[in-house]
Structure 1
């Protein structure tokens, strides 16, 4: 009898205890990113479809309704009525082409007596006060087009800043609080309007600031996490595919 060597897959305890959870986590994160990628594609397609459609009358769609379903976000509508310029609200932390500024949110009185908040768009910091842009304070009955938006903070909750109604400085749209601050009597709840790109007298506010296209880099993360799972599996297999001795008959 002589001794020879061969290779067999022989798992060991601690490398297995470490590798299996890491492998499952990497696989799970890759799958989650894949789902996020598909969701993002659907969102982009929805935004493009709704924002690119012909504007419809807000009054006809939501006549008599104080609330508008959140599912209607990015619907292209037109409204008719008057701006309540004396009740302007300043939405902070905005920039355009690397120029710091704010966005101007103005209550708008619809013909049926309801009021809806309208984000009229960007104004540079030096023009945030209404007195600095008198041409843009259009008077009388006007018709404007825009996209319906859902209020609330759009970022991570852990870094959510606090609105400051006393200073009239807002980081996100909070319709009930803004309605109280401006004294609106019959505000449309759950939805507001991002004004479209139609030019305002004097140039500001500059409308058409709604983000339709979203960054969709989830494929990179899908590849990264799945690759990590695959690499770990290969390393685990190679590490445990060990040579072992075997006895061979001599002839």
Structure 2
């Protein structure tokens, strides 16, 4: 019964995951909204993850932060750059991937966009805590991050007293910066969905256990029948 229950639970989880994936897919293909709309929905406690959003402002390239990442089989960094909006709000934008050797912005000066820009991408919520025990601690002094810590990223920025930081990130959409780096559009919008495999495993174990139990009972019954009466008497 326990194995069957675990299998049924995985089937229910499968349905939930499929519905969530469908929701994310529909959300990522919606029209982008402005930062004001997104901030208002976040303030109401609504889920804003993967919502398309558009923001206009000026990149503070001196405030780049780097999150360990991979892209097309290569290891490197995602470049997170503060975008200062005209109303003195600031949002960190994941501009995309650079390989290890191009982490230094001096090696990709063409990609350090200046002046007013409009960024369109997907909203990502900031984790409240380190996602796991085995994830390394962020190196705040070197601005190297192993998980997206908004508070840590904001630390050390030279901002005016009236600047406020929006509580989410924007992952820039596909495209390359001038000079080729960073490469945008690196957001992974897929979620692991192994629940069908787990369900088959639990149901399979339950079936094997049932068969083994039937065979054991049958074997014992056959052995008892062939042994005859316990006192050895014959008709």
Q: TM-score, normalised by structure 2?
A: 0.85
Please say if 1:206 is aligned against 2:151.
no
Query: Could you tell me which residue of structure 2 aligns to residue 95 of structure 1?
Result: 70
Assess, with a 3 A threshold, how the Cα gap between structure 1 residues 221 and 134 changes in structure 2: closer, same or farther: same
Please say if 1:194 is aligned against 2:159.
no
Could you tell me how far apart the structure 1 residues matched to 2:91 and 2:186 are? 18
C-alpha displacement of 1:226: 0.7
Could you tell me how far apart the structure 1 residues matched to 2:106 and 2:5 are? 55
- Residue in structure 2 matching 1:136, options 111, 120, 128: 111
Query: Could you tell me which residue of structure 1 aligns to residue 142 of structure 2?
Result: 167
Superposed, 1:44-193 pairs within 5 Å as 44-62=21-39, 69=45, 71-92=47-68, 94-152=69-127, 157-184=132-159, 185-189=163-167, 191-193=168-170
**Cα RMSD (Å):** 2.6
Superposed CA deviations along residues 120-152 of structure 1, whole A, max 9, x for unmatched, are 111111111111111111101110101000122
Q: Which has the higher contact order (CA 8 A, sep 6+)?
A: 1
What SS does structure 2 have at the residue aligned with 1:49?
helix
Could you tell me how far apart the structure 2 residues matched to 1:194 and 1:98 are? 19
- Residue in structure 1 matching 2:196, options 214, 219, 222: 219
Aligned length: 224
Could you tell me how far apart the structure 2 residues matched to 1:232 and 1:66 are? 49
Q: Determine if contact 1:59/1:79 at 8 Å carries over to the other structure.
A: no
Q: Determine if contact 2:111/2:182 at 8 Å carries over to the other structure.
A: yes
Q: TM-score, normalised by structure 1?
A: 0.80
Could you tell me how far apart the structure 1 residues matched to 2:130 and 2:15 are? 20
Could you tell me how far apart the structure 2 residues matched to 1:155 and 1:40 are? 23
Assess, with a 3 A threshold, how the Cα gap between structure 1 residues 183 and 43 changes in structure 2: closer, same or farther: farther
C-alpha displacement of 1:66: 8.7
Q: Determine if contact 1:120/1:207 at 8 Å carries over to the other structure.
A: yes
C-alpha displacement of 1:36: 2.8
Gaps of 5+ in 1: 1-22
Q: Determine if contact 1:56/1:78 at 8 Å carries over to the other structure.
A: yes
Q: Determine if contact 1:106/1:120 at 8 Å carries over to the other structure.
A: yes
Assess, with a 3 A threshold, how the Cα gap between structure 1 residues 204 and 97 changes in structure 2: closer, same or farther: same
Could you tell me how far apart the structure 2 residues matched to 1:206 and 1:69 are? 32
